[in-house]
Amino acid sequence: MASRTPAAMKRTVGGKTLGRRIGDNWQLYALLLIPVVLTIIYKYIPMYGIQIAFRDYKASAGITGSKWVGLDWFTRFFTAPTCGRMIRNTVLLSLYSLLWGFPIPILLSLCINQLRFPKYKRVVQTVLYAPHFISTMVICGMIRIFLSPSGGLINLLLGTSVDFLTESGAFRSIYIISGIWQDAGWGCIIYLATLANVDTSLYEAAKVDGASVFQRIVNIDIPALLPMAILNLIMSAGSLMNVGFEKVWLLQTDLNKATSDVIAVYVYQQGIENAKYSYSTAVGLFNTAVNLILLFVVNRIASKTSDVNFV
């Protein structure tokens, strides 16, 4: 019998050709096809339009018919007087959100996991999840009411009449605290699910070994959460430059622009309000490129410092 060529070998796994394997498991491949097609349609085909970042796009000339301008739009963005401020604001807002928002769901899940009464546990979880289901529009409306200088809850509690939304120094805190309030409960679901899978005999062994509740959390719960936390960190780092446009836009005032002027809002303003499609695409592309680089950097760091490698 003639030996098979390396190329032929490559196409076979476990003695089966690729076609045969697909034929044997066609139902699974058919299921896989749906998300793959949707991803191609909605994520990859639109990438064709990225080229307008390098052209002077005119709707009448079409994408390929528009004049090629190279990196002009990028140069314009980087030389814009507000560029540095926008990049700084975007990075700081994301970084602070990550810094404060990332550990809170973990801490919450550790606390909820210690609750011993199932009914009470369910109530606590529901109360914590609820804000996640409120739309950003409504959340921002609530924030405005709470922070209102005339009769707002916060001012009433503090006994002041400060218009927090006009204080540029307060914007980041408002953005981050409200973000934690809205999403920390939801964010802890995945950690609670992870903790539910921890072998209960580990806790019992630790009890017999003499570990206190805190020591059990440190030595069992946190190591169990670590892989999931790292995955979340990588995913968050991958969208570090993606500050939620809606919320910033809705909380922005002329007086807090010094800290609320971020790239996402700028892209919206330039693209939609001023119809500068090429320019806003270039800025958005820069944003995405930075995210992609961050994703790989954080993954590399995470995989070097732990056993986990996700990307």
Partner 1 sequence: MSEVVIKNLKKIYDNKVTAVHDVNLHIKDKEFIVLVGPSGCGKSTTLRMVAGLEEISEGDLLIDDKRCNDVAAKDRDIAMVFQSYALYPHMSVYQNMAFALKLKKTPKDEIDKKVREVAEILDITRFLERKPKALSGGQRQRVAIGRAMVRDPKVFLMDEPLSNLDAKLRNQMRAEIIKLRKRINTTFMYVTHDQTEAMTLGDRIVIMKDGYVNQIGTPQEVFAKPVNLFVAGFIGMPVMNFFDECKLLLEDGVYYAEIRGVRFKPDDFQQRALKENGQQPCDIIVGIRPQHILVGEGELEAKIEVSEMLGTEANLHTMSGNDEVVMVIPTMDLNVDVSMGQTIRFTTQPRLMQFFDKESGNNLIWYDPVSAEANAPVCKEYGF
Instruction: Supply the minimum distance, in Å, between the C-beta of residue 103 and partner 1.
Output: 19
The residue (of 133 and 214) whose beta carbon lies closer to partner 1 is 214
Instruction: Supply the minimum distance, in Å, between the C-beta of residue 139 and partner 1.
Output: 38
Beta bridge partners of 13: 16
Burial of 108: CB neighbours in 10 Å, binned 0-12, 13-18, 19+: buried
Instruction: Supply the minimum distance, in Å, between the C-beta of residue 202 and partner 1.
Output: 5
| Residue-by-residue DSSP string for 74-103 | HHHHHHSTTHHHHHHHHHHHHHHHHHHHTH
The residue (of 120 and 296) whose beta carbon lies closer to partner 1 is 120
The residue (of 153 and 196) whose beta carbon lies closer to partner 1 is 196
Pairing verdict, β 55-58 and 12-13: unpaired
Long-range CB contacts for residues 230-233, cutoff 8 Å, separation at least 24: 230/302, 230/306, 230/308, 230/310, 231/308, 231/310, 232/102, 232/187, 232/190, 233/98, 233/102, 233/298, 233/302
Instruction: Supply the minimum distance, in Å, between the C-beta of residue 38 and partner 1.
Output: 37
The residue (of 212 and 274) whose beta carbon lies closer to partner 1 is 212
Instruction: Supply the minimum distance, in Å, between the C-beta of residue 211 and partner 1.
Output: 6
Instruction: Supply the minimum distance, in Å, between the C-beta of residue 112 and partner 1.
Output: 21
The residue (of 220 and 295) whose beta carbon lies closer to partner 1 is 220
Neighbouring C-alpha atoms within 13 Å toward the C-beta of 179: 23
The residue (of 205 and 258) whose beta carbon lies closer to partner 1 is 205
Cα Dmax for the chain:
91
| Residue-by-residue DSSP string for 204-252 | HHHHHHT--HHHHIIIIIHHHHHHHHHHHHHHHHTTTT---HHHHHHH-
> What residue ranges bind partner 1 (CB under 8 A)?
199, 201-202, 204-211, 215, 219-220, 223-224, 226
